[in-house]
């Protein structure tokens, strides 16, 4: 039987005991029909994998004992992707791929040329959870609530470096950037792109404007390509 992966809060690991609750408990017991004695891998979003055995199953939670633990992944950077909200749930695809690539946080935003204004954070977080499990990540990427481009600009100073993929930039390639520091942000626009005023305010807030090449990519493609190039440049796609 395949050993399945579950995510818990750090506070759900106490000594040698892990408590699985909430949606993960429901998935474990109702969907996967886990029983006492089954094996599981449990992660608490810190890069450590715990190999566990189910010891008891109650109405609302399961208790597992930790058999062994090891550091599965050490990240050198923490990447936040600010992505313009897309029509027809197209951001789902970008979120799933961003998680697979190792993006730590995805924050959707609305802006002047954005044609959508509805976003379910819960639904998107479930997509991120499924993607993290499917790709065997020891980290659970966080999906933020929907914010405005003004909020995004206001947050930029909290990063060590910010890259801004702008469709009108024709010179500075993202692959040539050498971001400094640990906390990095990347900004990708919605289908309609950015207004000149938004672009100028993002740049004034300290972001480095970059191009993704001479063709205009769809917004969801742009998110995936930019994350892949940036994370590879930072060594985050290496095997070790
Ligand atoms: N409506 C815009 C236009 O016609 O120029 C295109 C917007 S594009 C579909 C959506 C977002 O993807 C852009 O705002 C940008 O963040 C990113 N993007 C797509 N292609 C890009 C490129 N070649 N260079 C930099 N960013 C790009």
- Summarize pLDDT for 1-49 with one digit per residue, the tens: 789 999 999 999 999 999 999 999 999 999 999 999 999 999 999 999 9
Q: Which residue has the tokens 């995805």?
A: 106
Interstrand relation of 142-143 and 105-110 (parallel, antiparallel or unpaired): parallel
CATH: 2.40.30.160, 2.40.240.20, 3.30.9.10, 3.30.360.10. Which one for 4-71? Answer: 2.40.240.20
pLDDT digits (tens, 9 = 90+) for 199-239: 999 999 999 999 999 999 999 999 999 999 999 999 999 99
The pLDDT of residue 1: 73
How far is the centre of ligand 1, averaged over its atoms, from the C-alpha of 61 (Å)? 46
Give pTM, 2 decimals: 0.96
The architecture (CATH level 2) of 78-233 comes to 3-Layer(aba) Sandwich (3.40)
Tens of pLDDT, residues 167-190: 999 999 999 998 989 999 999 999
Structure confidence at residue 2 (pLDDT): 82
Burial class (CB in 10 A: 0-12, 13-18, 19+), 105: middle
Domain positions in the chain: 4-71, 78-233
Closest CA to 92 of 139, 117, 132, 127: 127
Ligand 1 pocket at CB < 6 A:
165-167, 169, 188-189, 191-194, 211-213, 215-219, 222
**How far apart are the CA of 200 and the centre of ligand 1, in A?**
15
Residue whose CA is at the smallest distance from ligand 1 atom 1:
192
Pocket probe for ligand 1: among 114, 193, 223, the residue whose CB has the most ligand atoms within 8 Å is: 193
Cα–Cα separations (whole angstroms), residue 80 to 34, 56, 162, 217: 34, 38, 9, 20
């Amino acid at each position: 039987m395949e050993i399945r992966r579950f995510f818990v809060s750090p506070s759900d690991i106490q000594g040698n005991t892990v408590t699985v609750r909430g949606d993960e408990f429901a998935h474990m017991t109702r969907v996967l029909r886990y029983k006492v004695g089954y094996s599981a891998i449990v992660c608490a979003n810190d890069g450590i994998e715990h190999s566990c055995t189910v010891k008891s199953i109650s109405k609302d939670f399961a208790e597992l004992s930790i058999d062994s633990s090891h550091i599965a992944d050490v990240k050198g950077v923490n990447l936040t992707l600010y992505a313009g909200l897309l029509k027809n749930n197209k951001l789902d695809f970008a979120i799933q791929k961003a998680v697979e690539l190792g993006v730590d946080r995805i924050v959707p935003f609305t802006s002047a040329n954005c044609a959508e204004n509805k976003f379910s954070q819960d639904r998107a977080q479930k997509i991120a959870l499924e993607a993290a499990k499917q790709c065997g990540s020891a980290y659970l990427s966080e999906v933020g609530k929907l914010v405005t481009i003004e909020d995004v600009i206001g947050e930029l100073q909290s990063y060590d470096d910010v890259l801004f993929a702008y469709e009108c930039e024709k010179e500075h390639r993202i692959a040539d950037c050498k971001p400094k520091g640990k906390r990095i942000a990347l900004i990708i626009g919605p289908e309609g792109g950015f207004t000149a005023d938004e672009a100028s305010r993002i740049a004034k807030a300290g972001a480095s404007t970059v191009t993704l090449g001479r063709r205009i990519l769809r917004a969801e493609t742009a998110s995936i390509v930019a994350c892949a190039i940036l994370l590879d440049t930072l060594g985050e796609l290496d095997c070790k």
